[in-house]
Amino acid sequence: MIGPAAITRTASVGKALVAALAGLAIAACAVDRAAPAPGVPEQLAPSAQASLAMIAKARGVQIYRCRQSADRSGTYEWVFVAPEADLFDARGDNIGRHFAGPAWESRDGSRIVGTVQSRSDAPAAGAIPWLLLTAKAEGREGAFSKVTQVQRLNTAGGNAPSTGCAASADGTTVRVPYVADYYFWKPGAVYSSY
Protein backbone atom coordinates (compact mmCIF):
# COMPACT_ATOMS: atom_id res chain seq x y z
CA MET A 1 0.00 0.00 0.00
CA ILE A 2 1.28 3.46 -0.93
CA GLY A 3 1.24 5.96 1.87
CA PRO A 4 0.50 9.73 1.69
CA ALA A 5 4.22 10.62 1.73
CA ALA A 6 4.88 8.43 -1.31
CA ILE A 7 1.94 9.96 -3.15
CA THR A 8 3.22 13.48 -2.33
CA ARG A 9 6.73 12.59 -3.61
CA THR A 10 5.29 11.05 -6.79
CA ALA A 11 3.14 14.13 -7.39
CA SER A 12 6.17 16.40 -6.86
CA VAL A 13 8.25 14.39 -9.33
CA GLY A 14 5.35 14.47 -11.81
CA LYS A 15 5.02 18.26 -11.45
CA ALA A 16 8.79 18.69 -11.92
CA LEU A 17 8.71 16.49 -15.01
CA VAL A 18 5.78 18.44 -16.47
CA ALA A 19 7.57 21.73 -15.74
CA ALA A 20 10.76 20.48 -17.38
CA LEU A 21 8.89 19.29 -20.48
CA ALA A 22 7.03 22.60 -20.69
CA GLY A 23 10.36 24.43 -20.46
CA LEU A 24 11.78 22.35 -23.29
CA ALA A 25 8.70 23.01 -25.40
CA ILE A 26 9.01 26.76 -24.82
CA ALA A 27 12.73 26.65 -25.61
CA ALA A 28 12.03 24.73 -28.81
CA CYS A 29 9.56 27.41 -29.88
CA ALA A 30 12.04 30.15 -29.03
CA VAL A 31 14.67 28.45 -31.19
CA ASP A 32 12.32 28.43 -34.14
CA ARG A 33 15.20 29.18 -36.49
CA ALA A 34 18.58 27.58 -36.91
CA ALA A 35 21.46 29.58 -35.48
CA PRO A 36 24.31 30.62 -37.75
CA ALA A 37 27.36 28.41 -37.72
CA PRO A 38 29.79 28.93 -34.83
CA GLY A 39 32.60 31.36 -35.56
CA VAL A 40 30.54 33.51 -37.93
CA PRO A 41 31.15 37.22 -37.30
CA GLU A 42 28.14 39.05 -35.88
CA GLN A 43 27.88 41.39 -38.89
CA LEU A 44 27.17 38.33 -41.06
CA ALA A 45 24.29 37.02 -38.93
CA PRO A 46 20.95 36.79 -40.75
CA SER A 47 18.01 38.82 -39.46
CA ALA A 48 16.25 37.62 -36.32
CA GLN A 49 13.14 36.78 -38.38
CA ALA A 50 15.02 34.51 -40.79
CA SER A 51 14.96 30.72 -40.73
CA LEU A 52 17.41 28.44 -42.47
CA ALA A 53 15.91 27.08 -45.68
CA MET A 54 18.88 25.10 -47.00
CA ILE A 55 22.65 24.85 -47.16
CA ALA A 56 24.48 24.26 -50.42
CA LYS A 57 28.16 23.55 -51.10
CA ALA A 58 29.51 25.50 -54.07
CA ARG A 59 32.38 24.26 -56.22
CA GLY A 60 33.54 26.39 -59.10
CA VAL A 61 35.60 29.42 -60.03
CA GLN A 62 35.85 33.15 -59.42
CA ILE A 63 36.57 34.90 -62.74
CA TYR A 64 38.89 37.92 -62.92
CA ARG A 65 39.97 40.14 -65.83
CA CYS A 66 43.20 42.11 -66.09
CA ARG A 67 42.61 45.79 -66.86
CA GLN A 68 44.10 49.21 -66.35
CA SER A 69 43.45 50.60 -62.88
CA ALA A 70 40.82 53.33 -62.74
CA ASP A 71 42.59 54.85 -59.70
CA ARG A 72 46.28 54.63 -60.68
CA SER A 73 47.24 55.56 -64.21
CA GLY A 74 49.70 53.20 -65.87
CA THR A 75 49.03 50.30 -63.47
CA TYR A 76 47.00 47.16 -64.08
CA GLU A 77 44.94 45.04 -61.70
CA TRP A 78 42.79 41.93 -61.59
CA VAL A 79 39.12 42.96 -61.44
CA PHE A 80 36.38 40.57 -60.36
CA VAL A 81 34.01 39.64 -63.19
CA ALA A 82 31.70 36.88 -61.90
CA PRO A 83 31.41 33.60 -60.04
CA GLU A 84 30.67 30.35 -61.84
CA ALA A 85 29.86 27.37 -59.62
CA ASP A 86 27.66 24.33 -59.20
CA LEU A 87 25.63 23.92 -55.99
CA PHE A 88 25.37 20.59 -54.15
CA ASP A 89 23.20 19.38 -51.27
CA ALA A 90 24.40 17.32 -48.29
CA ARG A 91 24.06 14.10 -50.34
CA GLY A 92 26.29 15.50 -53.10
CA ASP A 93 23.44 15.91 -55.58
CA ASN A 94 23.62 18.91 -57.91
CA ILE A 95 20.78 21.26 -56.95
CA GLY A 96 21.61 24.34 -59.02
CA ARG A 97 24.20 26.88 -60.02
CA HIS A 98 25.71 30.21 -58.98
CA PHE A 99 26.66 32.83 -61.56
CA ALA A 100 26.97 36.57 -62.36
CA GLY A 101 24.55 38.84 -60.59
CA PRO A 102 25.44 37.42 -58.12
CA ALA A 103 22.63 34.96 -58.74
CA TRP A 104 21.68 31.46 -57.61
CA GLU A 105 19.37 29.28 -59.65
CA SER A 106 17.78 26.01 -58.54
CA ARG A 107 17.28 23.11 -60.91
CA ASP A 108 13.53 23.83 -60.55
CA GLY A 109 14.08 27.21 -62.30
CA SER A 110 13.62 29.45 -59.25
CA ARG A 111 16.29 32.13 -58.98
CA ILE A 112 17.50 34.86 -56.63
CA VAL A 113 19.81 37.82 -57.17
CA GLY A 114 21.88 39.11 -54.25
CA THR A 115 23.31 42.41 -53.04
CA VAL A 116 26.19 42.42 -50.57
CA GLN A 117 25.00 43.63 -47.15
CA SER A 118 28.23 43.02 -45.20
CA ARG A 119 31.53 41.18 -45.50
CA SER A 120 34.30 39.78 -43.33
CA ASP A 121 37.76 38.49 -44.15
CA ALA A 122 37.85 34.70 -44.38
CA PRO A 123 39.79 32.92 -41.62
CA ALA A 124 41.64 30.82 -44.23
CA ALA A 125 44.56 32.49 -46.00
CA GLY A 126 43.95 33.07 -49.70
CA ALA A 127 40.19 32.60 -49.41
CA ILE A 128 37.58 35.01 -50.71
CA PRO A 129 35.68 36.95 -48.00
CA TRP A 130 32.65 35.67 -46.13
CA LEU A 131 29.49 37.57 -47.05
CA LEU A 132 25.93 38.32 -46.00
CA LEU A 133 23.73 39.26 -48.95
CA THR A 134 20.12 40.36 -49.28
CA ALA A 135 18.29 38.41 -51.97
CA LYS A 136 15.41 39.12 -54.30
CA ALA A 137 13.51 36.41 -56.13
CA GLU A 138 13.32 36.44 -59.92
CA GLY A 139 11.53 33.96 -62.10
CA ARG A 140 9.36 31.01 -61.20
CA GLU A 141 8.20 29.68 -57.83
CA GLY A 142 10.47 27.06 -56.29
CA ALA A 143 13.26 26.28 -53.84
CA PHE A 144 14.82 29.77 -53.97
CA SER A 145 11.71 31.93 -54.44
CA LYS A 146 11.24 32.69 -50.71
CA VAL A 147 14.94 33.25 -49.89
CA THR A 148 15.66 36.77 -48.61
CA GLN A 149 19.24 36.43 -47.31
CA VAL A 150 22.32 34.41 -48.26
CA GLN A 151 25.50 33.81 -46.30
CA ARG A 152 28.72 32.77 -48.03
CA LEU A 153 30.84 30.95 -45.43
CA ASN A 154 33.69 28.44 -45.14
CA THR A 155 35.40 29.71 -48.27
CA ALA A 156 38.63 28.29 -49.69
CA GLY A 157 40.50 29.72 -52.66
CA GLY A 158 38.99 32.14 -55.14
CA ASN A 159 41.17 35.22 -54.57
CA ALA A 160 42.55 37.14 -57.54
CA PRO A 161 46.13 36.27 -58.50
CA SER A 162 48.77 38.45 -56.86
CA THR A 163 50.85 38.62 -60.06
CA GLY A 164 50.54 38.39 -63.83
CA CYS A 165 48.44 41.47 -64.54
CA ALA A 166 50.36 44.00 -66.67
CA ALA A 167 49.86 45.96 -69.90
CA SER A 168 50.83 42.84 -71.85
CA ALA A 169 48.00 40.89 -70.17
CA ASP A 170 45.32 43.60 -70.56
CA GLY A 171 41.95 41.91 -71.19
CA THR A 172 43.16 38.47 -70.09
CA THR A 173 40.81 36.49 -67.85
CA VAL A 174 41.69 33.92 -65.20
CA ARG A 175 39.44 31.39 -63.50
CA VAL A 176 40.45 30.77 -59.90
CA PRO A 177 38.98 27.63 -58.23
CA TYR A 178 37.02 28.08 -55.00
CA VAL A 179 34.63 26.30 -52.67
CA ALA A 180 32.13 27.81 -50.24
CA ASP A 181 29.06 26.97 -48.20
CA TYR A 182 25.97 29.02 -49.01
CA TYR A 183 23.35 29.32 -46.28
CA PHE A 184 19.96 30.32 -47.71
CA TRP A 185 17.57 32.06 -45.29
CA LYS A 186 13.88 32.86 -45.63
CA PRO A 187 11.29 34.27 -43.22
CA GLY A 188 9.22 31.80 -41.21
CA ALA A 189 10.71 28.75 -42.89
CA VAL A 190 11.37 25.35 -41.41
CA TYR A 191 14.80 23.91 -42.09
CA SER A 192 14.94 21.39 -44.88
CA SER A 193 17.89 19.58 -46.38
CA TYR A 194 16.41 20.36 -49.83
| Tens digits of pLDDT across the chain (194 residues) | 555 554 444 444 344 433 433 333 333 333 344 455 668 899 999 998 899 999 999 999 999 999 998 888 889 999 999 999 999 999 999 999 999 999 999 999 999 999 999 999 999 999 999 999 999 999 899 999 999 999 999 999 999 999 999 999 999 999 999 999 999 999 974 444 43
Q: What is the pLDDT of residue 58?
A: 98
To the question of pTM greater than 0.85 for the whole model, the response is no
d(CA 128, CA 124): 9
Q: What is the pLDDT of residue 72?
A: 80
The ranges assigned to domains in the chain are 1-31, 42-187
Q: What is the pLDDT of residue 18?
A: 36
CB < 8 Å & 24+ apart, contacts of 75-79: 76/165, 76/166, 76/167, 76/169, 76/170, 77/165, 78/160, 78/161, 78/165, 78/174
